[in-house]
Chain A
């Protein structure tokens, strides 16, 4: 194993172990999304959802739940001196970016594993669209994790850290949300899933992941300098 891969695996394992032991983010994210579904049920006054309304409720909820996790992503690094340790270690600093993106993708996937079935039970008439939805969820998670990690690593070193993540992240993920809801809408349509422009939206999601993955990888070095 190359040193870079070893460092990547070590940081990722550390993050996952810390989350498993403290359960700081994931239960809160899951609980938040279920409560938000309940609020949407009354806010929209609908007991079943389909098409664009279903896609909107699902993605708005997942996005705001994700913000909770993104807010806490680097808190341990800052409070326990993890940033200094990474700076001291003889490794490429972009490894931290990669490992944090991977950790966040895993958190988001775990969140969706809970939230999406509950969403389906609460609001959907059939589960036919949920299979292809996995592709949309994974691609969107990747983009959300890339931008989220980038913003979170900066916000944690500021005075207004809890404020900065939602403030800066939300406009940044608007294109991602357009593509994700665009792909999800026909999948959850009334009367069975259809695949209208499904491939196109997946390509947009992929492009977003690629661009912000590369941007994050390129600039992350500068965020750790001191």
Chain B
């Protein structure tokens, strides 16, 4: 049931990614200051924005889970956070590459956005051991939702605190308001943002479909009295 519409969605995502990447390499003007390496911006920033929104969305699903007590929302919340954590790894790696190329160091502590992102990433990385440590499935789902809500509230607060801790304002290439970007770059950037968001949605849908399929297989096996092949993941919630 989760698989419905997966094919057109995947095709759209791939097409959008291909379009965005060709725009990045053939249409977007070269940055006068940083040259070619600046193009990683079109990958790094949309990834980061999608991951952060994904974390918040995971928190909203968690609220839905606690309000309705429907386990479906817990699975949504888990998968949202899961995909966002994977995006987060990509954000930190692309960020490090960019920092090395433009500032000469793999890591810079005075870029507040990157540091905030690292802290948020570390916070969400504890989601897995946290879930894993709780055995009872109902309790695990409830506690995971509480975690997702708490961490969701933590994200904006953390960004504020890290930004305020900067003693001097670093020249910001990653302008959060797109005011600093020339028109063509802005178009390409927005295109990439849409592509990344689509990629996130597609991956979430794939993960949910896979989980629901394996859940169904398990149920059918049980109905046939056949032994379950392999154990499912003990951390991930089951999807009906």
Known contacts A158-B133, A175-B154; decide if A168 and B160 are in contact (CB<8 Å). no
Chain A positions 185 through 226: 1 when the CB is less than 8 Å from some CB of chain B, otherwise 0: 000000000000000110010011001100100010011011
> In the complex the two chains form, is B133's CB within 8 Å of A225's CB?
no
Whether B139 is near chain A, meaning CB under 8 Å from some CB there, is: yes
Whether B108 is near chain A, meaning CB under 8 Å from some CB there, is: no
Whether A150 is near chain B, meaning CB under 8 Å from some CB there, is: yes
Number of B interface residues in the complex (CB < 8 A): 28
Whether A154 is near chain B, meaning CB under 8 Å from some CB there, is: yes
Which residues of chain B are within 8 angstroms of A211 by Cβ–Cβ distance? 153, 157
Whether A23 is near chain B, meaning CB under 8 Å from some CB there, is: no
Partner pick for A223 among B129, B146, B157, CB 8 A cutoff? B146
Residue of A whose beta carbon sits closest to that of B154? A172
> In the complex the two chains form, is B161's CB within 8 Å of A179's CB?
yes
> In the complex the two chains form, is A222's CB within 8 Å of B119's CB?
no
Which residues of chain B are within 8 angstroms of A207 by Cβ–Cβ distance? 157
Whether A160 is near chain B, meaning CB under 8 Å from some CB there, is: yes
> In the complex the two chains form, is B133's CB within 8 Å of A164's CB?
yes
> In the complex the two chains form, is B143's CB within 8 Å of A215's CB?
no
CA distance A167 to B165 in the complex (A): 23
> In the complex the two chains form, is B150's CB within 8 Å of A182's CB?
no
Whether A157 is near chain B, meaning CB under 8 Å from some CB there, is: yes
- Dominant SS among interface residues on chain B: helix
Which residues of chain B are within 8 angstroms of A208 by Cβ–Cβ distance? 157, 161
Whether B123 is near chain A, meaning CB under 8 Å from some CB there, is: yes
Whether A60 is near chain B, meaning CB under 8 Å from some CB there, is: no
Which residues of chain A are within 8 angstroms of B147 by Cβ–Cβ distance? 154, 168
Whether A171 is near chain B, meaning CB under 8 Å from some CB there, is: yes
Whether A174 is near chain B, meaning CB under 8 Å from some CB there, is: yes
Partner pick for A219 among B66, B133, B162, B165, CB 8 A cutoff? B66
Complex interface residues of chain B between 89 and 122 (CB less than 8 A to chain A): 119, 122
Which residues of chain B are within 8 angstroms of A223 by Cβ–Cβ distance? 142-143, 146
Which residues of chain A are within 8 angstroms of B145 by Cβ–Cβ distance? 222
Whether B240 is near chain A, meaning CB under 8 Å from some CB there, is: no
Chain B positions 148 through 162: 1 when the CB is less than 8 Å from some CB of chain A, otherwise 0: 011101100110111
Whether B164 is near chain A, meaning CB under 8 Å from some CB there, is: yes
Residue of A whose beta carbon sits closest to that of B152? A215
CB distance from B201 to the nearest CB of A (A): 27
Which residues of chain A are within 8 angstroms of B33 by Cβ–Cβ distance? none
> In the complex the two chains form, is A159's CB within 8 Å of B134's CB?
yes
Which residues of chain B are within 8 angstroms of A171 by Cβ–Cβ distance? 119, 122-123, 126
Which residues of chain A are within 8 angstroms of B154 by Cβ–Cβ distance? 172, 175
Known contacts A160-B129, A164-B129, A222-B66; decide if A175 and B146 are in contact (CB<8 Å). no
> In the complex the two chains form, is A174's CB within 8 Å of B165's CB?
no
Whether A178 is near chain B, meaning CB under 8 Å from some CB there, is: yes
Known contacts A182-B165, A219-B146, A222-B66; decide if A175 and B157 are in contact (CB<8 Å). yes
Which residues of chain B are within 8 angstroms of A179 by Cβ–Cβ distance? 161, 164
CA distance A226 to B149 in the complex (A): 20
Whether B225 is near chain A, meaning CB under 8 Å from some CB there, is: no
Cross-chain pairs A/B with CB under 8 angstroms, 26 sampled: A157-B139, A158-B130, A158-B133, A158-B143, A161-B133, A163-B129, A163-B133, A168-B130, A171-B119, A171-B122, A172-B123, A172-B150, A172-B151, A172-B154, A175-B162, A178-B164, A179-B164, A204-B164, A207-B157, A208-B161, A212-B150, A215-B153, A219-B66, A219-B150, A222-B146, A223-B146
Q: Which residues of A contact B (CB under 8 A)?
A: 147, 150, 154-155, 157-161, 163-164, 167-168, 171-172, 174-175, 178-179, 182, 200-201, 204, 207-208, 211-212, 215, 219, 222-223, 225-226
Give the 9 A-B CB pairs with smallest separation, nearest first.
Answer: A175-B161, A158-B133, A171-B123, A160-B133, A178-B161, A171-B122, A219-B146, A158-B134, A168-B126
